[in-house]
């Protein structure tokens, strides 16, 4: 029976970057991914950087994949992992195809989309914004003739642009009306505050101004109070923080949405209902770390709003308190794919260092750790202003967990 040095779960930017480091150090590696193509969510990405250069996810993933393949990395696609079993000195990775035995595991499963349920969201023609992205940029399928985006955030703004570039007509982007699930996404103040992180992507002086002063609450309120009735246009498409979608209508599929005006507190203005004909609706509820596998193998968690939800506790070299289990990429917090790739490098080097214990690798590892921080600081898309604080919290939690573990061992 073969025992691998490491099984990497997820062939996105983090998983592939890690695999490359492991293979450069000659470890026995297998990379598993449930999607039929390597690259993860990198595949869907296409946007222009502030310096004018284009970030083309398909090209980026191709570069990673080619490097991994040149190192004869075993990448198995279309394989879902449904359990990680912890034995005394190894882990068993359960997949539909077979069991993989391994000394180390890197969980690089990325993120999933939070749903934003509003009445009518189960009608055919309603999809998550990420699904629209994958259909458009990966499968090259046109999602509809004319649509609307419900949920205004970094991700939906970036993907709206991609849909536009693909020639798909969008009516606008608007908030969902407030309900128990979508309270944050429906609060104009909070959304305005978060939009500040994509100010440089919005060629509108108004958003840039509003976001520049976003930390001053009164300016935010003013900006919302004088929010243009016709929305702020980004690439010609209105973004509404003063209008919200109340429900999605249709008998067998999406036929229209009901739009209402909302106050700066997100309250619905009476008698402001308008029906807008559309044949598809993208719901953007934001991302959360996909950490089920870390949970089943016994990793402790910490909640960090800044990082997007419950995060498996880990240190700066991506180790969790469960010896042999590593994490990298969006499972450690919602950030750009560039950060994920650097984290993958760190995890790969950390595993190589654990297996081979060389000074040379240790030096590379330290440099890679510094690179993660540098990449984070330079990121053009920041999902949350408190990312660095969130990271600190996680790192402190790791030290505390390890301290408790040691004390427990001493008691025994």
**Which of these segments, 173-181, 185-193, 267-275, 341-349, binds other proteins (CB under 8 A)?**
173-181
Residues 142-171 that bind other proteins (CB under 8 A): none
Q: Which is nearer to other proteins, 287 or 349 (CB)?
A: 287
**Helices 13-24 and 57-70, axial angle in degrees (round to 10):** 20
* 268 sits near other proteins (criterion: CB under 8 A): no
Q: How far is the CB of 372 from other proteins (least distance, A)?
A: 23
* 34 sits near other proteins (criterion: CB under 8 A): yes
Q: How far is the CB of 411 from other proteins (least distance, A)?
A: 23
d(CA 165, CA 55): 14
d(CA 276, CA 148): 9
**Which of these segments, 140-148, 155-163, 174-182, 253-261, binds other proteins (CB under 8 A)?**
174-182
Q: How far is the CB of 366 from other proteins (least distance, A)?
A: 29
Q: Select the residue interacting with other proteins from 63, 78, 99, 405 (CB under 8 A).
A: 99
Residues 289-318 that bind other proteins (CB under 8 A): 292-293, 295-296, 300-303, 309-310
**Which of these segments, 21-29, 61-69, 76-84, 220-228, binds other proteins (CB under 8 A)?**
76-84
Q: How far is CA 40 from the centre of its chain?
A: 11
d(CA 203, CA 234): 6
Q: Select the residue interacting with other proteins from 50, 98, 167, 412 (CB under 8 A).
A: 98
d(CA 293, CA 312): 10
**Which of these segments, 78-86, 190-198, 230-238, 275-283, binds other proteins (CB under 8 A)?**
78-86
What backbone torsions phi and psi does residue 48 show, to the nearest 5 degrees? -95, 130
Q: How far is the CB of 305 from other proteins (least distance, A)?
A: 9
* 74 sits near other proteins (criterion: CB under 8 A): no
**Which of these segments, 11-19, 95-103, 196-204, 331-339, binds other proteins (CB under 8 A)?**
95-103
Q: Select the residue interacting with other proteins from 35, 91, 121, 383 (CB under 8 A).
A: 121
Distances 406 to 301, 325, 389, 411 between C-alpha atoms, Å: 18, 18, 26, 9
Q: Which is nearer to other proteins, 65 or 84 (CB)?
A: 84
d(CA 170, CA 46): 18
x/- track of binding to other proteins for residues 177-216 (CB under 8 A): --xxx-----------------------------------
**What is the maximal distance between C-alpha atoms in the chain?**
70
SS (H, E, C) 35-59: CCCCCHHHHHCEEECCCCCEEEHHH
Residues 339-398 that bind other proteins (CB under 8 A): 397
* 83 sits near other proteins (criterion: CB under 8 A): yes
Residue with tokens 């719901």: 283
* 229 sits near other proteins (criterion: CB under 8 A): no
d(CA 103, CA 2): 11
276 three-class SS: strand
Count of residues engaged in binding other proteins, rule: CB under 8 A: 39
Q: Which is nearer to other proteins, 95 or 395 (CB)?
A: 95
Q: Select the residue interacting with other proteins from 227, 280, 288, 383 (CB under 8 A).
A: 288
**Helices 188-195 and 217-225, axial angle in degrees (round to 10):** 110
Which class for 92: exposed (0-12), middle (13-18), buried (19 or more C-beta within 10 A)? Answer: middle
Q: Which is nearer to other proteins, 54 or 303 (CB)?
A: 303
SS (H, E, C) 286-338: CEEECCHHHHHCCCCEEEECCCCEEEECCCCCCECCCCCEEECHHHHCCCCHH
* Residues lying near other proteins in the complex (CB under 8 A): 1-2, 34, 80-83, 94-99, 112, 114-122, 179-181, 285, 288, 292-293, 295-296, 300-303, 309-310, 397
């Amino acid at each position: 029976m073969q025992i691998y040095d490491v099984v990497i779960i997820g062939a996105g930017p983090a998983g592939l970057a890690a695999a490359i480091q492991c293979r450069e150090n000659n470890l026995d590696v297998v990379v598993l991914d449930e999607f039929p193509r390597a690259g993860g969510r990198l595949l869907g990405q296409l946007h222009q950087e502030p310096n004018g250069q284009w970030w083309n996810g398909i090209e980026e993933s191709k570069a990673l994949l080619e490097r991994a393949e040149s190192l004869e990395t075993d990448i198995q696609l279309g394989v879902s992992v449904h359990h990680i079993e912890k034995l005394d000195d190894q882990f068993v990775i359960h997949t539909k195809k077979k069991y993989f035995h391994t000394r180390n595991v890197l969980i690089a499963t990325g993120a999933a989309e939070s749903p934003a349920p509003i009445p009518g969201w189960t009608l055919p023609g309603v999809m998550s914004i990420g699904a629209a992205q994958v259909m458009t940029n990966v499968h090259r399928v046109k999602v509809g003739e004319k649509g609307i985006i419900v949920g205004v955030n970094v991700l939906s703004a970036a993907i709206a642009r991609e849909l536009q570039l693909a020639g798909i007509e969008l009516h606008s982007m608007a908030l969902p009306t407030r309900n128990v699930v979508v309270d944050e996404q429906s609060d104009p103040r909070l959304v305005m505050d978060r939009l500040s992180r994509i100010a440089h992507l919005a060629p509108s002086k108004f958003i840039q101004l509003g976001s520049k002063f976003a930390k001053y609450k009164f300016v935010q309120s003013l900006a919302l109070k004088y929010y243009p009735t016709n929305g702020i246009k980004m690439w010609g498409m209105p973004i509404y923080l003063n209008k919200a979608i109340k429900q999605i209508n249709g008998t067998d599929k999406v036929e229209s949405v009901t739009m209402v005006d909302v106050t700066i507190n997100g309250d619905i203005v009476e008698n402001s209902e308008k029906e807008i004909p559309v044949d598809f609706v993208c719901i953007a509820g934001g991302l959360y770390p996909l950490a089920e596998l870390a949970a089943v193998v016994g990793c402790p968690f910490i909640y960090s709003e800044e990082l997007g939800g419950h995060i498996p506790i880990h240190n700066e070299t991506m180790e969790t308190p469960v010896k042999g289990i590593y994490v990298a990429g969006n499972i450690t917090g919602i950030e750009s794919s560039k950060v994920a790739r650097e984290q993958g490098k760190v995890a790969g080097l950390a595993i190589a260092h654990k297996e081979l214990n060389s000074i040379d690798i240790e030096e590379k590892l330290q440099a890679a750790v510094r690179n993660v921080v540098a990449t984070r600081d330079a990121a053009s898309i920041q999902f949350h202003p408190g990312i660095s604080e969130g990271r600190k919290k996680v790192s402190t939690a790791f030290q505390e967990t390890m301290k408790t573990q040691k004390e427990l061992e001493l008691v025994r």
